[in-house]
Amino acid sequence: MPSFISNGGDWTPAQEKAVNVRTGETYEGPDREAKQMIEDAGGTIGMKAVEDPENIMRARQLGMTVEQYLKMNEVPSAAQKAKDEAAKTKVVDHKPTPAKRGVQSAGGGTTIKGNFGDPPQV
């Protein structure tokens, strides 16, 4: 059975390692049956993901380029997963700073809300 590797939707033969039982020869290289299938199909099998009409339509619906859309669907790496997990479990604890006493600009005396500082002493 042939084995392929998809590179952005374009299929290429996978690596094969085979042993001829009669002669003891080993073959290592591209899958021979997959190469034959590609030749029989006219040189290529599959469709590039950036040329796929469905991907183009979906990217337009979301208002992005096809490359951005395809990047969005990639599986995150182990380093990215660890970074995301650390961000989820990070705990930030800030004590509220004491407010300064101030003056309301519309009158009303002293308040905690203003940022004018203490009124001048006369």
Residues 21-56 pLDDT 10s: 999 899 999 999 989 998 998 888 888 888 889 999
Does residue 69 sit in the same domain as residue 40? Answer: no
Q: What is the structure's pLDDT at 56?
A: 92
Does residue 65 sit in the same domain as residue 39? Answer: no
pTM of the model: 0.47
Residue 3: pLDDT over 70: yes
Which has the higher per-residue pLDDT, 45 or 122? 45
DSSP string for 23-77 = T--EEEEE-HHHHHHHHHTTS--B--GGG-HHHHHHHHHHTS-HHHHHHHTSPPP
Q: What is the structure's pLDDT at 22?
A: 92
Q: What is the structure's pLDDT at 101?
A: 67
Does residue 2 sit in the same domain as residue 35? Answer: yes
Give the domain extent around 33. 1-44
Q: What is the structure's pLDDT at 116?
A: 62
Q: What is the DSSP letter of 112?
A: S
36 within a domain of the structure (yes/no): yes
Does residue 33 sit in the same domain as residue 64? Answer: no
Residues counted in the chain: 122
Q: What is the DSSP letter of 104?
A: -
pLDDT digits (tens, 9 = 90+) for 68-110: 998 887 888 889 889 988 888 887 777 777 766 665 555 555 5
Q: In angstroms, what CA-CA distances link 62 with 1, 24, 52, 70, 85? A: 39, 56, 16, 12, 27
